[in-house]
Structure 1
Amino acid sequence: MFARQFRVKSNTAIKGSDRRKLKADVSAAFPSLTADELCELIPNKEELNVVKIYAHKGDAVTLYVLHKNPLFFELEKRLYPTVYVLWRHPALLPTFRTWPPVLEKLIGGADLMLPGVVAPSGGLPNVKRGDCCSVTLVNNRAPVAVGNAASSSEEMLSAGMKGRGVCVLHAYMDHLWAFGDKSGPPSFPDAEGEGQEANGEDYEVDDTQEEAERCEEEEEEQLSSEKVKDQPCCGSEALSLAVQEEQRADEEEEADQEDQKMPQETMDALLLQCFLHALKRKVKKSELPLLTSTFLRNHMFSCCPSGKQLDIKKSSYKKLSKFLQAMQKQHNLIRVKELTKGVESIVEVDWNNKELRYFKVVEETNGDAAAAAQDGGEAEPPYHPPEITTLYSVSARLEPLFLDANKRKGTILQPAEVRHIVTEYVKKNELVDENNKNYVTVDPTLCDCLLEKSEYQEVQSLKWDDLFGRALGKMAECYEVVFPGHAPVRKKGHMEPIDVSVASRGSNKKVTLIKNLDAYGLDPAAVGAALQRRVQASSVLQPVPGSKDKVVVQIQGNQIHQVGRLLTDYYQIPRKYIQGLDKAPKSGKKSQWIKMMGSSEMSFRSQRRSSLNQHSP
């Protein structure tokens, strides 16, 4: 799983409640650990980080890191120890032994095959299919790999020790190991392994490799071929390769650290630039107090230069609140206060601050272009909304009315064509009222086609607009969609709008759901990413129940207002094709502030009046 480089999504310090939960989960997963050993692995006062990563195959993995060393990784809600933990507690998991040359295969991403397993005198460890287990080398009990048992011990023996033994997830010298301090395994003498060598009777390299090559998957063979030569490796060759790999990993880590410093420093500078630009050109005194989230979303993002993307998580501050605190304490530019519990606002700006006064705004910065870059991204092709035309199909009831125009049942017409055909029918049959030309006399054909049974004896004439409206209303509705560069597509029914709604999840948390984006040629993943950058909230794609290829975009919080702005302003979708924008939350923060200030003013005045009444003669 970690044979290739993974991508780090986030790196945050663990909360106290999450630390306690992690302790409970580790204790439940590995009951052999004592209370002291558990406290040593997960100390109460030392900083422990939670790192969320994506493996090269797209698997979401959570790492728990202490002193820069990953201790555990969580995959599909199951905890696994890393080699750094197993070197401190080698007996934590059931263990399978193998020969040193096989380690190179494991590093490359291959699984441990049963012909390469060295069975101890006491027999194989008692495991079931899927149990977490470790892999050690002959003559050293220090584990070098972690994985799941591919089958139970009984199944391994009944299969004649052929096939897959351990599905390896993590191994010494892979990228997860390189994420730590890159220390080597300690030396734990193995009494049973003494005297055994790789070229002895108990192990044949050629047989093991041939069996492994027959059972390994194509991808594992490709991964292993990058690190292992075709011919068998003896112990000294394996050690040489290990040293070379460790040196190469050290060089890559140093290069990665240098690369990580530059984007962080660059993002800090961009953050400060957008902050000063927003204060100097965007924020007005009348807007104060201003919610910090509104300041970021409406002012700072719009000040981002074209071609760049503002992402606080990639800066050294990680959070907006920490950045604003730094601007308050170090630069004395603003004053931030919590007006309501849990909600911070900028209540004061020092407009005379030298740093703000001497800041020069780069004139080539284009707010609209920056917003577009934030929302859509430069790499994406420009989106053009489809042209949607409402059409009407001739129904069986209206067929007599369209016979003169040679339009049969099922013929699709535009509204203008329908009006023209009906007008020609009226003129041909001289049905225009002579006394009032705004009315049309109803003949038997119009009566059968347009009137209800209850109106047969009552309605003698119709207005032109009523005539056209009834004709369109009795026809089957269709629509035509034309995407730029594609042939027109006609479908029955009406065009379903983009549905934007708010739902509640666990603990009454609000999420915004966006459906039917694909009908308008929009990529749900691109829309979700654009919203995630705009509102700084996580978004996910969920499949629509009962549909194979349709998905729903889900984003945290009530973001209907931002969704509406993105769809109408950036993607140019007509508002009539978006459903649910009227449910956007009303901006009540300012009115609440005014009401609070008004109540305090009234209280002060009442106290003042009572004081004057007491001192009056």
Structure 2
Amino acid sequence: MFTKAFRVKSNTVIKGSDRRKLKADVSAAFPSLSADHLNELVPNKEELNVVKIYAHKGDAVTLYVLHRNPMFFQLEKQLYPTVYTLWRYPDLLPAFTTWPPVVQKLTGGADLMLPGVVVSSTGLPEVNQGDSCAVNVVSNRAPVAVGTAAMSSREMRTSGMKGKGVNVLHTYMDQLWAFGDKTTPPVLPVTDPSVQAEAEMDRQESGEEGTEISVQESEGQKNCGTTAVESSLQNLQDLSLREGEKEEDTEEVQGEQEDSRSPQEQMDSLLFQCFLHALKSKVKKSELPLLTGTFLRKHMASCCPKGKNLDIKKSSYKKLSKFLQSMQKEHNLVRVKELTKGVDSIVEVDWKNPELCSFCVPEDWEPPEECGEDRESCEEVYKPPEITLLYGVTSRLEPLFQDVQKKKGAVLQASEVRSIITEYVKKNELVHDTNKSYVNINPVLCDCLLEKSEYQELEVLKWDDLFSRTLSRMQSCHQLLFPGQAPVVRKGQVEPIDITVASRGSNKKVTIIKNLEVFGIEPTVVADTLQRLVQASSVLHDVPGAKERQLVQIQGNQVHHVGKLLLEQYQIPRKYIQGLDKAPKAGKKK
């Protein structure tokens, strides 16, 4: 958020009433602070300034500045401490530990990914999605970044430590840090033995490779950790310059030593070339916003030189989202936005970007022979998201899930719910004495599952009735897992693709298709495909009341063709398509 310069709107001394409100807000947000620590952060007598700024992306942020240093920043009514505050109170937020080289990526605007997290012997800090958290390095407990948890600790563990861990908002050496006195982090010793061992190993490996991210052991063995972290953080300012020099040297000898690059570096270069090629000659302004998956399949893949294959998993980025994030933050070529939850789209392209303007299509590049006239045939097969039905614990059912520590809002699969309820019945010895297919109703089950009119009537329930009542009283949720992306959990039932037939002037029929974006399908592609398929005109309209969604309208009753396209090419399960029965009957006019 603060990687680029921000604009200051106002800078005023805080009023007495606002000072008291700030102290109350800080106390509520960080209850671990003692009264003395609270008075140090929000003193009654000393001058405290309120600075209102606009970040480079337009976000309105409020800073609270003490002794020239910003101590807190407020974004969307949420209060966050800065690194200056965390250096004084390092345990104020749960902290994730990473390697010193990762800090350079964070200061460049990247988020902390779970593969870069060092797990201590005590495990991950316990956080929920959206909770404030800090980031430190293995050789120093002093935090170097502040952000929010991208998922809960439980989800991090179940995902196998893959995906995004922390959405980084503020880092050491960013513009917010530069707004203060620009001091360096203090050296706070690491107490966890496992993390100390990781730090020692990192120092040894760095020493063997000759890098300066973790410094070699100095004369004072006791200050080894101190020297390492000071060197790693101070050298961040020079690291980008050194890497830039290395890249220039690589470019000079690229023609002669092309094969000397690692396979990963070669794939990174090929990705960047195909990316620029696709923007230069394939993407049109009228296609924006463009789904990122479609951009890769339809445009970048067709720009790959003959004899080579794009495989983003063999690059240093590993995922398309991370690659596009780099193209946005480091090269300012595109702007990517999550128009529908869990589905990213390219919404803007900087057509005047120097790198894009200077790019020339390779002379030896040829369109893939197998594409011919039908470009759709050379695209990768669309893979629909994996949909998992989930159930959320409600306040009424919370007593049933107390034993397994599932509070209100916890999301479970049906099989997990059955296991938990079965265990609860057995633990409380509620199985009927003579008929094992029945369960005795205790006061908890009575309050959770029975209607008031049934309190005096029902004493037992069948197992199936017990499970069905439990599931029916839980919050309906679902999980969408798109290929190459983190799973997305949404409340409510899955919103199906809706196909309707409407009449326009002179009783002409049109077919309308909605909710394609929910399944990661781009309306533009469907409209173009149907237009070629049925030789009828199609248009796109914004969906009233649904932000950033579009519907496809095509002339005539084309339900049969739409259904065939969605079922066969996109492989959408029939139960998630609504309106297939509106197809014209055989022998009747459409």
TM-score, normalised with respect to structure 1: 0.35
Per the normalisation by structure 2, the TM-score is 0.37
Question: If you compute each CA radius of gyration, which structure gives the higher value, 1 or 2?
Answer: 1
